[in-house]
């Protein structure tokens, strides 16, 4: 009897459409490689029926991608790190990444200080790129717990870009991979947007599997990812995703994201506000 299919969900970077199509193609390759290597229960397709964060703690999780800040604050110990993708976009340095603070081109904003009292958009409070790195950039100049006049939560980076472009917010911090994807494949969404500043960097969005996954299966997952980096049939997929490698990081590397949180608190700026 065939083993029941486990869950594969790679939902952090699925827009614009060429990125979603390339992600599907990447998983199709990984699934074939894992199945050929003897792994049971490998799903042929990614699950798009659940949200990205609903996948993280599923007991049947085979592979997903999480944000570094939720990983270090609530997921570690409950999942296993597999690898951290490396991307070839400006703002990326191996497995590390930053966010770009964006504003409207015609807003008359030329420095982070000019954002004082303005409206900021964040995708969510638990986002590393949209909130934690943003907080780290603002904390040294905040001079207290409140810097912005208003903070709105949009639910996603694309929505934050739209909020700035449409004038509902004056600024947002967009992770450099999302920024790169949108700039390449939906340039019209960035037509009136400029980068004001770059945030501090930290380790990027790790691929994870369930905590009970065996060492042998983790090794198989890593082997499949390495094969995807060199297979000629995936050259276009790697180009679309700007995928340049996978790094196997020690858990302690993600502690730097908590250190950014601690530093902001010491400076009297514990939250984006």
State pLDDT tens for residues 62-97.
Answer: 999 999 999 999 999 999 999 999 999 999 999 999
Q: Is residue 266 part of a domain?
A: no
Is pLDDT at 243 greater than 90 in this prediction?
Answer: yes
Per-residue pLDDT band for 29 (boundaries 50, 70, 90) equals: very high
pLDDT score of 1: 41
In order of 103, 108, 193, 201, 258, the CA distances from 114 in angstroms are 11, 9, 16, 22, 27
What DSSP character marks residue 239? H
Return mean pLDDT, the chain: 96
Residues 17 and 55 in one domain: yes
Residues 114 and 210 in one domain: no
Q: Is residue 1 part of a domain?
A: no
Per-residue pLDDT band for 21 (boundaries 50, 70, 90) equals: very high
pLDDT score of 2: 58
What DSSP character marks residue 190? G
Residues 68 and 100 in one domain: no
What pTM did the predictor assign? 0.95
User: Domain count of the chain?
Assistant: 2
CA neighbor of 196 nearest in space, from 175, 163, 172: 172
pLDDT score of 52: 87
pLDDT score of 118: 98
Tokens of 266: 């010491």
Please give the Cα distance from 258 to 252 (Å, whole number). 10
Please give the Cα distance from 175 to 121 (Å, whole number). 13
* CB 159 within 8 Å of CB 112: no
What percent of the chain has pLDDT above 90?
97
Residues 106 and 176 in one domain: yes
Residues 127 and 207 in one domain: no
Is pLDDT at 10 greater than 50 in this prediction?
Answer: yes
Q: What is the CATH number of the domain that holds 183?
A: 3.40.190.10
Residues 119 and 185 in one domain: yes
Residues 128 and 45 in one domain: no
Domain that holds residue 31: 7-87+203-257
What percent of the chain has pLDDT above 70?
99
Please give the Cα distance from 39 to 228 (Å, whole number). 17
Q: Is residue 13 part of a domain?
A: yes
Is pLDDT at 23 greater than 90 in this prediction?
Answer: yes
Residues 231 and 198 in one domain: no
Q: How far is CA 96 from the centre of its chain?
A: 11
């Amino acid at each position: 009897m065939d083993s029941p299919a486990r869950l594969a969900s790679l939902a952090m970077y699925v827009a614009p459409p060429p990125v979603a199509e390339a992600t599907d193609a990447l998983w199709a390759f990984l699934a074939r490689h894992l199945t050929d290597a003897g792994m049971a229960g490998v799903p042929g397709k990614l699950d798009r029926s659940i949200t990205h964060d609903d996948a993280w703690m599923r007991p049947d999780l085979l592979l997903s991608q999480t944000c570094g800040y939720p990983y270090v604050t609530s997921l570690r110990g409950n999942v296993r790190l597999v690898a951290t993708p490396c991307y070839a976009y400006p703002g990326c340095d191996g497995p590390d990444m930053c966010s770009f603070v964006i504003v409207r081109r015609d807003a008359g904003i030329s420095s982070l200080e000019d954002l004082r009292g303005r409206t900021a958009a964040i995708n969510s409070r638990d986002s590393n790129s949209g909130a934690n790195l943003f907080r780290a950039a603002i904390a040294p100049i905040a001079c207290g717990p409140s810097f912005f006049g208003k903070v709105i939560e949009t639910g996603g980076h694309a929505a934050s870009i739209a909020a700035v472009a449409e004038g509902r917010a004056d600024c947002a911090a967009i992770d450099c991979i999302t920024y790169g994807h949108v700039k390449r494949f939906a340039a019209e969404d960035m037509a009136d947007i400029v980068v004001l500043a770059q945030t501090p960097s930290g380790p990027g969005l790790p691929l994870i599997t369930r905590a009970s996954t065996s060492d042998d299966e983790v090794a198989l997952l890593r082997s499949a990812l390495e094969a995807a980096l060199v297979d000629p049939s995936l050259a276009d997929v790697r180009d679309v995703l700007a995928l340049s490698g996978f790094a196997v990081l020690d858990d302690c590397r993600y502690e730097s994201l908590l250190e950014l949180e601690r530093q902001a608190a010491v400076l009297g700026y514990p939250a984006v506000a």
